[in-house]
Amino acid sequence: MKVLIIDDERAIRRALKEILEYENCQVLEAENGKEGLEMIRSNSLDVIFCDIKMPLVDGMELLEQVQLEGNEVPIVMISGHGTLETAVQAIKIGAFDFIEKPLDLNRILVILRNVKDRNQLVQETKILKTTVKKIKGSAIIGETPEILDIKAMIEKVAPSDARVLVTGGNGTGKELVARSLHELSNRAKMPYIEVNCAAIPSELIESELFGHEKGAFTSAVKDKKGKFELASGGTLFLDEIGDMSLSAQAKVLRALQENVIQRVGGEKDVKVDCRIVAATNKDLRKEIAEGRFREDLFHRLAVILIHVPSLNDRRADIPLLAKHFLQLVCQDHGIPCKSLNDEALNALKALDWTGNIRELRNIIERLVILCDQEIAAKDVQKYANVKA
């Protein structure tokens, strides 16, 4: 353990140092609060023993400053004039513990053991949070090389603020890529806002994205924040961006260039800070050539390109996906989990998946509802190709 002793009495520092070094601690010393603060800022410490009454910066001031700076190192306050009131005040501010002079050897040893236990728990919690974060962000099912490449790309790109353009057919899982990028990013605790550009009428898309001022149009009875403002600090996912109108594209381009937007009917610039992930099932280069998509916007969005393959191009993942959906569907319907035998899985792999993963999930739900406990190849052949 690396320990810092802050005390203006040399005798106290020496006595405490001998105890700590006997316990195999690496000990640093500071003779006043000002020097102590400098050493705290320049060292990675496991615990600090700090006197309360000191020149320049006293112990309580130092404790408050360390708390303000967000340093989580445990601080044990030492006092030669200890009172219950002083101890309670120190603990309220954030002290780990409180001891009185003359120093009690057994009390110090107990504190060291508690600090070790506390630091171990903090480290385990950090590891657990990182693991949970990775699990959440790795909800993309599959082990084919294409999917493993996408997972690796997400892990590399997520911590940055780089804009990402996700391409692929309908139902391939582009939304899942976008959400994984958010959940593995430094913005994971902030909002994740999704906008389906194809589902919003062109005359409303600008109001949806940028918000509007009261009276901007007939139904604008009050001010409304747009998705850019709501996503500020987090991630804004623009799904099916290839269907966005050219006028809206121009405003999105400005927002990306300057990090400001204007509400519909407003003149005031509003600062926004959101990471943009966009997705499309269209060939945007073809859309550019035909004048339906702005080339400058494309280059702003496509800093990182991730292409999600169709299910037909990753058939080896179908058994994994099918078993995953089978479990989810059975849970949703509150029935015992059914099974797919090997012949049924092979029959699923042989189908033509024009609707990709979304179609697979629908078929699994159909099979769960209509079939017996074990789903066989004949069931797949009977129910998978049902025409509307």
The answer to whether the CB of 225 falls within 8 A of the CB of 182 is: no
* CATH 3.40.50.2300 given to domain 2-126: yes
Query: Which residues are registered as beta bridge partners of 383?
Result: none
Q: What's the chain's average pLDDT? A: 90
Instruction: Assign 122 a pLDDT band (cuts: 50, 70, 90).
Output: confident
Distance CA 363, CA 370 (A): 10
**369: DSSP letter:** H
Report residue 346's pLDDT band, with 50, 70 and 90 as the boundaries. very high
CATH class of the structural domain 143-307 = alpha beta
- Secondary structure percentages of the chain, helix, strand, coil, to 5: 50, 15, 35
Alpha helices, DSSP H only, in 77-211? 84-93, 105-137, 145-157, 174-183, 202-210
Mean pLDDT of the region 346-370? 94
pLDDT value of residue 388: 43
What does the alpha-carbon distance between residue 128 and residue 161 come to, in Å, rounded to a whole number? 24
Per-residue pLDDT of 255-266, as tens digits, reads: 999 999 988 888
Judged by average pLDDT, the poorest of 37-51, 54-68, 113-127, 233-247 is 113-127
Mean pLDDT of 380-388: 76
**Which pLDDT belongs to residue 130?**
57
Spatial CB neighbours of 72, under 8 Å, sequence gap ≥ 6: 122
What are 73-117's pLDDT values in tens digits? 999 999 877 677 788 888 888 899 988 888 888 989 999 999 998
Counting other chains too, the contacts that 198-205 makes at CB distance below 8 Å and 24 or more residues apart are 198/239, 198/240, 198/243, 199/240, 202/245, 202/248, 205/244, 205/245, 205/248
Query: Which strands make up the sheet holding 275-280, listed edge to edge?
Result: 192-196, 235-239, 275-280, 164-167, 304-307
Cβ-proximal residues to 56 (8 Å cutoff; 6+ apart), any chain: 32, 33, 34
pLDDT at 138 over 60: no
- CATH 3.40.50.300 intervals, the chain: 143-307
DSSP string for residues in 338-366: -EE-HHHHHHHHTS--TTHHHHHHHHHHH
Query: What whole-number percentage of the chain has pLDDT above 70?
Result: 95
Report the C-alpha gap between 126 and 13 in whole angstroms. 33
From the list 49, 36, 59, the residue with the least C-alpha distance to 1 is 49
pLDDT in tens, 40-59: 988 889 999 999 888 888 88
CB distance 99 to 120 below 8 Å: no
Q: Contact at 8 Å (CB) between 61 and 36?
A: no
- The distance of Cα 323 from the centroid of its chain, to the nearest Å, equals 27
> HSE of 254 in the Cβ direction (CA atoms, 13 Å)?
15
Q: Determine the Cα–Cα distance for residues 270 and 259; give it in Å rounded to an integer.
A: 8
* Domain 312-383 fold: Helicase, Ruva Protein; domain 3 (1.10.8)
pLDDT reading at 166 higher than 90: yes
Higher pLDDT, 190 or 223: 190
Q: What is the mean pLDDT of residues 310-338?
A: 93
What is the location of CATH 3.40.50.2300 in the chain?
Answer: 2-126
Question: d(Cα 43, Cα 204) in Å, to the nearest integer?
Answer: 55
Q: What pLDDT score does 283 carry? A: 95
pLDDT band at 132 (very low <50, low <70, confident <90, very high): low
Query: Measured between alpha carbons, how far is residue 11 from residues 16, 48, 355 in Å?
Result: 9, 17, 78
- In the predicted model, is pLDDT for residue 137 greater than 80? no
Domain(s) labelled CATH 1.10.8.60 in the chain stretch across: 312-383
